[in-house]
Amino acid sequence: MTSTQTSPLRFLKGHGTENDFVIVPDAENALDLPPAVVARLCDRRAGIGGDGLLHVVRSAAHPEARHLADEAEWFMDYRNADGSVAEMCGNGVRVFARYLEHAGHVTAGEVAVATRGGVKHVHLDKDGTVTVAMGRAVLPEAAATITVDGRSWPARNVNMGNPHAVAFVEDLDHAGNLLTEPAYAPASVYPDGVNIEFVVDRGPRHVAMRVHERGAAETRSCGTGACAVAVATARRDGADPAERGTPVTYTVDVLGGTLVITEHPDGRIDMTGPAVIVAEGTVDPVWLAAGPGNAAVTGIETVDD
């Protein structure tokens, strides 16, 4: 958003298992959204509040997605809460697809969404659940050690289009205060930073996790993180689908709900969970351009999903 823009900025608010997002529709990519503006919008005390921002742009209108326009009409230009750019967000893709349905751009059924992590294929069910084909995990050999309050754990390195370090712990409280990033070493394993998951067992094919998301601190849920956790747990359990020849499904509890992750023998990963649009309104452009201060958010109203 530039300082010369005087019209109110339209936004919506949505969440997937309480991983919440500010949604900014901008089909023709006309808005300038520098990191400082994104951070202001995502500020939970002085702005709208969110774990990230979903900038909704037609693929053909965005320089990073034009090469994907033949495969997916819409591009999810995802930003972390601090304004930094991210490759992918699993919960964000579900909410993004739900927004497209809410806005009348698509109907229930199959939807393709372009992301910096490639084109993601989404199925919108009429019962409100959304399934995302998350692609295949990459398992780099290089690994790191995670340390919190004097405890250390080896972490499985899983890349879901963005980097993850998965550590199995005895108690989720061992993750400590995830407002600050846990220490990891060697730093060279994750030169662009990393999402860190702490995992405990809940039962057969059932785990629970907490996550520190790169650029957002602890969040209530992380879709790519849940996929990384399921992949890492399957290897730990000796349940690699490629070796078994059958799909393997894990239930992953996050702080904001539950996600179901299925990995197929060919490596394809499906993630199923809810996605909800809860409100929409406009932001005063004068406030947004002015810098730190109290938000002047107008026209907020609840909407039916």
Write down the catalytic residue from 222, 269, 271, 276.
222
Helix (H) or strand (E) holding 262: strand 257-263
Residue 286: the pLDDT is 84
Q: For residues 283 and 256, state if they share a domain.
A: no
Q: Confirm whether 160 is domain-assigned.
A: yes
Strand partners, 208: 200, 253
Q: For residues 264 and 282, state if they share a domain.
A: no
Residue 302: the pLDDT is 39
Strand partners, 200: 208
Q: For residues 71 and 183, state if they share a domain.
A: no
Q: For residues 166 and 200, state if they share a domain.
A: yes
Q: For residues 247 and 152, state if they share a domain.
A: yes
Cβ neighbors of 191 (< 8 A, separation 6 or more) are none
Q: Confirm whether 134 is domain-assigned.
A: no
Give the residue carrying structure tokens 């539950």.
258
Q: Confirm whether 4 is domain-assigned.
A: no
Q: For residues 178 and 94, state if they share a domain.
A: no
Q: Confirm whether 137 is domain-assigned.
A: no
Establish whether 227 is a catalytic residue. Answer: no
Q: For residues 233 and 120, state if they share a domain.
A: no
Q: Confirm whether 20 is domain-assigned.
A: yes
Binding-site residues: 19, 80, 90-91, 162, 195, 213-214, 223-224
pLDDT tens-digit profile, the chain (305 residues): 443 456 789 999 999 999 999 999 999 999 999 999 999 999 999 999 999 999 999 999 999 999 999 999 999 999 999 999 988 899 999 999 999 999 999 999 999 999 998 999 999 998 889 999 999 999 999 999 999 999 999 999 999 989 999 999 999 999 999 989 999 999 999 999 999 999 999 999 999 999 999 988 999 999 999 999 999 999 999 999 999 999 999 999 999 999 999 999 999 999 999 999 999 999 988 888 777 654 455 544 434 43
Q: For residues 149 and 114, state if they share a domain.
A: no
For 75, the domain range is 9-128+275-302
Write down the catalytic residue from 81, 89, 211, 271.
89
SS3 182: coil
Q: For residues 187 and 106, state if they share a domain.
A: no
Q: For residues 121 and 192, state if they share a domain.
A: no
Binding-site residues for substrate: 19, 80, 90-91, 162, 195, 213-214, 223-224
Distance separating alpha carbons of residues 116 and 62, to the nearest angstrom? 11
Q: Tell me the whole-structure pTM to 2 decimals.
A: 0.86
Cβ neighbors of 78 (< 8 A, separation 6 or more) are 52, 53, 54, 55, 85, 86, 87, 88, 89, 92, 115, 116
Residue 193: the pLDDT is 95
Q: Confirm whether 135 is domain-assigned.
A: no
Residue 292: the pLDDT is 63
Q: For residues 121 and 160, state if they share a domain.
A: no
Residue 74: the pLDDT is 98
Q: Confirm whether 3 is domain-assigned.
A: no
Q: For residues 77 and 177, state if they share a domain.
A: no
Q: Confirm whether 166 is domain-assigned.
A: yes
Residue 165: the pLDDT is 98
Q: How many domains does the chain have?
A: 2
Domain CATH code at residue 41: 3.10.310.10
